[in-house]
Amino acid sequence: MTDKEVKKLKRQELLELLYYMRKELDETRLENERLTGLLDERSKEHEEVMAAIAKAERQLTKLVRGQKGENISEDNAGGEAQGTKSQGTRKKRRRTQNSGQ
């Protein structure tokens, strides 16, 4: 509505216009408060989920490091025997591959 149109309105029409504008403003504020509350709630949930993920990641990292440590100590305990065995297996594979050609 232009300034010219507003100037032509009667007092009663202006009051009615103000009433509906105020009503719409109040509804908009209520909706804004509701959405802000919902956003805060979701943000808290998101933070909790991210904290749980970080905790799980740290636990997995510890487990993986523990597994690697076990594998390294197992390799050191029987490394020579396994090394010879795997070399023997490789030779057998090569022989079979060469025979098939």
Residues 58, 63, 69, 72, Cα dihedral to 10°: -120
pLDDT at 85 over 70: no
Q: What's the whole-number mean pLDDT along residues 67-80?
A: 67
Mean pLDDT of 51-79: 82
- The residue with greater pLDDT, 8 or 82, is 8
**pLDDT above 80 for 76:** no
Query: How far out from the chain centre does Cα 42 lie?
Result: 13
Q: Both tokens of residue 18? A: 């103000």
Q: Is the pTM of this model over 0.85?
A: no
Contact 70, 77 (CB under 8 A): no
**Mean pLDDT to the nearest integer, 25-38:** 97
Q: Which residue has the higher pLDDT, 100 or 38?
A: 38
